[in-house]
Amino acid sequence: MESHLVAFVIPISGFSGNPPAMLSLKKYLTEGLLQFTILLSLIGVRVDVDTYLTSQLPPLREIILGPSSAYTQTQFHNLRNTLDGYGIHPKSIDLDNYFTARRLLSQVRALDRFQVPTTEVNAWLVHRDPEGSVSGSQPNSGLALESSSGLQDVTGPDNGVRESETEQGFGEDLEDLGAVAPPVSGDLTKEDIDLIDILWRQDIDLGAGREVFDYSHRQKEQDVEKELRDGGEQDTWAGEGAEALARNLLVDGETGESFPAQVPSGEDQTALSLEECLRLLEATCPFGENAEFPADISSITEAVPTESEPPALQNNLLSPLLTGTESPFDLEQQWQDLMSIMEMQAMEVNTSASEILYNAPPGDPLSTNYSLAPNTPINQNVSLHQASLGGCSQDFLLFSPEVESLPVASSSTLLPLAPSNSTSLNSTFGSTNLTGLFFPPQLNGTANDTAGPELPDPLGGLLDEAMLDEISLMDLAIEEGFNPVQASQLEEEFDSDSGLSLDSSHSPSSLSSSEGSSSSSSSSSSSSSSASSSASSSFSEEGAVGYSSDSETLDLEEAEGAVGYQPEYSKFCRMSYQDPAQLSCLPYLEHVGHNHTYNMAPSALDSADLPPPSALKKGSKEKQADFLDKQMSRDEHRARAMKIPFTNDKIINLPVEEFNELLSKYQLSEAQLSLIRDIRRRGKNKMAAQNCRKRKLDTILNLERDVEDLQRDKARLLREKVEFLRSLRQMKQKVQSLYQEVFGRLRDENGRPYSPSQYALQYAGDGSVLLIPRTMADQQARRQERKPKDRRK
DNA sequence: GACTACTGTCATATT
DNA sequence: ATAATATGACAGTAG
């Protein structure tokens, strides 16, 4: 964002030629700040443009009209003067280009995001030998399984730097574990990575805190695991959840892994291709088998959480669902951990984004639709898993808010299933935090453990910039209380000049973030927008009616000068900006023009105060003279008093040469010459002041117009964002179902399905999919956990 | 009488 | 260096 801003602000300041440092700085602080604010608001940072945009509100008024007027030092008029760019605001050009470019870029990005990489799906069953090394039992490339679900092959030649990095890292880790499939031509494509990364970040945004994947948590968990292995369950964390686990899970003596009792124990070293699996499936059990995954499948999910989080935390988090009891202390501890992790996350990601996202009210449409409740990410995950366990057919349900919010009811079933650790897709996917949305619920649980950082996270960090944009938009949307449903209404709203303000009144987060200044765009939006519009209309009217062009003014002055000393015309119209046509230059309308001449003769006040036309009947000449006299400016009076032989208009408007010529023609006293010079100076300054005020007004109007344009752009971007999110959700659902389908069709050498709690599919860097034990995935994730962190910090 | 908008003017900066 | 111009600040006037 910063880079954007820089690019944005600098051009603006560029209009001001090369002012002194102070002025430059001032410009930056005023105009620049205003622009910056607008931009920030557009991007989604809580600056509450709405508030400032309504020129009715103090802030804007202060900025624009106040002593430190924002436009004061702006040299727009210069640009306009030189370029004659009256109608075009200099900034608008940049803004248009800027946002257009951005929009196009985002659209382009969105394009590949929506593509589901079709890749060969290679299922690898990896096992871990006693030493902890893992070897792919059958690194046969023939395992490749064509995904029947219509994944599109996206293996593109384009590989971003980050992509290659991550892929490499991923591959290395896999190799280390010995579980790496032979290098395949099709690595994870950038699209894959992007998609995953996006989803992952979205999950984070939506409340599936990355903390779940945090290394420290996993470390804790690992430690706990160790303790479990070594000493059993005396762990501090081993509370009810642990007991529950102990009761319901079989613990692998070697690895400390726990699985559901019913799950086939032992780590399969057999790698089955999906084709084989399918064949087996067809031969043995007809399709639909996947749907029958017993509750133990859910264990996958739970297993993962253990990895990402310390067992204690996990248990605590799960326990509410499982047992419904937990110690307050644990909860607090958990929360603190979460918060600390969140903070770290916030540092990585857009602050406002995280703020908004995490603070997003439960009722927030977006969050409900796309994410878990902020405060209960894990629980939500668990329930999700539960829900998803049913089978692929229920995938969609899993994502529905109702399902996500599955209450404790399902906890009982979860408990038995919650293995302490397991590698899951999450290691790959989960690592990217996609788990929440992307993967089958079962995986989600796991996802928490393995979480992004640990596993190669092929996706992580790939789309930093893109993701930032995404997050920004997301933040904006969420912050604004934007939801897909509202999207359809946005256009009308904004078109109707209701302002950008999306209803954020229900979003406490936004309030807190902006310290209430944002006090709901929605509530203020209507008023502010209306105020803004009214202000604009009034401005427009004023600008159109009240001010004539410079040329017009000059013409008037010329005419006046030509007429002679004080022609009526000039008297009534000269001082005002009013369009002569509008005012008709009628004496009794003069007051409308606010022609406050300083040299009103006191004597004239009583005699001729707005004399109606009828009053000019008799003695009209006298009265007219008085009136004219009254209309004379101070300088005119002085000139007359000093017997200046030519009109003030000439004095003021003649070019220097002619002016000097004129002076030379007459024998003028020093006093006269001085007065003439003063008259000329004041007259010119008066016009200058008029021009200056006019420019101010124009500047304000232009700013207002820009603001409106920006608001429209913002609204449009939000609409686009909604569309994108919609598509993204669909994609996630698709991927989830695909995962479940693939996993469900896998069969071991005995023709039995793999337990989701023990095995998980993992994306390899080459685009293939490995079936690996969860423990292995966890290890991998832990190994790689540091990398991303280091990179980020 | 207080307030506001409009103007003109001055001092000063900028062109 | 000078003239022209721009602009903030101030004050007067009218509504």
Strand B close to A16 by CB, under 7 A: yes
Question: What percentage of chain A carries pLDDT values higher than 90?
Answer: 4
Q: Which nucleotides of C are covered by protein (CB under 7 A)?
A: 3-9, 12-15
Strand C close to A600 by CB, under 7 A: yes
C1' of B3 to CA of A63 (Å)? 21
Query: Which residue is nearest nucleotide C13, judged by alpha carbon to C1' distance?
Result: A596
Predicted confidence at residue A655, as pLDDT, reads 83
Condensed to tens digits (0 to 9), the pLDDT of residues A716-729 reads 999 999 999 999 99
C1' of C13 to CA of A648 (Å)? 22
Q: Which of A3-7, A176-180, A508-512, A775-779 has the highest mean pLDDT?
A: A775-779
A636 pLDDT tier (thresholds 50, 70, 90) = confident
C1' of B2 to CA of A53 (Å)? 29
| A770, β-bridge pairs | A762
The two tokens of residue A634 are 């101070």
Residues A540-556 have a mean pLDDT of 33
The two tokens of residue A579 are 């369009």
Secondary structure (DSSP) of A600-655: --HHHHHH-SS--GGGGSTTHHHHHHHHHHHH--HHHHHHHHTT-SS-HHHHHHS-
Look at residue A584 and tell me whether its pLDDT is greater than 80: no
C1' of B7 to CA of A592 (Å)? 12
Would you give the DSSP letter of residue A183?
P
Count of Cβ atoms closer than 10 Å to residue A485 Cβ:
10
Predicted confidence at residue A71, as pLDDT, reads 33
Strand C close to A591 by CB, under 7 A: yes
Instruction: For strand B, list residues 230-289 of chain A whose Cβ lies within 7 Å of it.
Output: none
For residues A210 and A450, the answer to whether their CB atoms sit within 8 Å is no
Handedness of CA A555, A556, A562, A563 (dihedral sign): positive
Look at residue A417 and tell me whether its pLDDT is greater than 50: no
Please choose, from the candidates A339, A344, A369, A341, the residue with its C-alpha nearest in 3D space to the C-alpha of residue A202.
A369
Handedness of CA A780, A782, A786, A788 (dihedral sign): positive
**Higher-confidence residue: A701 or A341?**
A701
C1' of B9 to CA of A547 (Å)? 21
Strand C close to A696 by CB, under 7 A: yes
A665 pLDDT tier (thresholds 50, 70, 90) = confident
The two tokens of residue A676 are 């003439």
Strand C close to A77 by CB, under 7 A: yes
Please choose, from the candidates A175, A1, A166, the residue with its C-alpha nearest in 3D space to the C-alpha of residue A98.
A1
Condensed to tens digits (0 to 9), the pLDDT of residues A585-620 reads 333 333 333 343 333 333 333 333 333 334 444 466
Predicted confidence at residue A715, as pLDDT, reads 97
Three-state DSSP state, A134: strand
Strand C close to A67 by CB, under 7 A: yes
C1' of B1 to CA of A603 (Å)? 26
Residues A441-462 have a mean pLDDT of 36
Look at residue A186 and tell me whether its pLDDT is greater than 70: no
A629 pLDDT tier (thresholds 50, 70, 90) = low
Predicted confidence at residue A673, as pLDDT, reads 86
For residues A693 and A687, the answer to whether their CB atoms sit within 8 Å is no
Give the integer Cα–Cα distance in Å for A459 and A478. Answer: 24
Look at residue A68 and tell me whether its pLDDT is greater than 70: no
Predicted confidence at residue A653, as pLDDT, reads 81
C1' of B4 to CA of A656 (Å)? 39
C1' of B5 to CA of A688 (Å)? 19
- 3-state per-residue secondary structure call for A415-439: HHHCCCCCCCHHHHCHHHCCHHHHC
For residues A207 and A371, the answer to whether their CB atoms sit within 8 Å is yes
**Higher-confidence residue: A658 or A372?**
A658
Q: Which nucleotides of B are covered by protein (CB under 7 A)?
A: 5-15
CA atoms within 13 A on the CB side of A93: 11
pTM: predicted TM-score of the whole model, two decimal places: 0.34
Give the integer Cα–Cα distance in Å for A75 and A97. Answer: 21
Instruction: For strand C, list residues 645-674 of chain A whose Cβ lies within 7 Å of it.
Output: 655-656, 659
C1' of B13 to CA of A673 (Å)? 26
Tokens 């890749």 label which residue? Answer: A119
Distance from chain centroid for Cα A662? 65
Strand C close to A72 by CB, under 7 A: yes
Query: Which residue is nearest nucleotide C4, judged by alpha carbon to C1' distance?
Result: A684
Strand B close to A75 by CB, under 7 A: yes
C1' of B7 to CA of A83 (Å)? 29
Strand B close to A542 by CB, under 7 A: yes
A624 pLDDT tier (thresholds 50, 70, 90) = low
C1' of C12 to CA of A598 (Å)? 7
Query: What's the Cα-to-Cα distance from A158 to each of A131, A186, A191, rounded to whole Å?
Result: 38, 12, 9
Would you give the DSSP letter of residue A147?
-
First to last CA, chain A: 18
Provide the mean pLDDT of chain A. 47
Predicted confidence at residue A625, as pLDDT, reads 67
Condensed to tens digits (0 to 9), the pLDDT of residues A286-316 reads 333 333 333 333 333 333 333 333 333 333 3
Kindly give, in sequence order, each residue whose CB lies less than 8 Å from that of residue A511, ignoring residues fewer than 6 positions away.
A504, A518, A519, A520
Query: Which residue is nearest nucleotide B15, judged by alpha carbon to C1' distance?
Result: A78
Predicted confidence at residue A724, as pLDDT, reads 97
Strand B close to A598 by CB, under 7 A: yes
C1' of B8 to CA of A621 (Å)? 29
Length of chain A: 793
Strand B close to A76 by CB, under 7 A: no
C1' of C5 to CA of A692 (Å)? 10
Instruction: For strand C, list residues 79-108 of chain A whose Cβ lies within 7 Å of it.
Output: 81
Look at residue A418 and tell me whether its pLDDT is greater than 60: no
Look at residue A562 and tell me whether its pLDDT is greater than 70: no
C1' of B5 to CA of A41 (Å)? 32
Query: Which residue is nearest nucleotide C3, judged by alpha carbon to C1' distance?
Result: A656
C1' of C12 to CA of A595 (Å)? 12
Pairing of strands A152-153, A249-251: unpaired
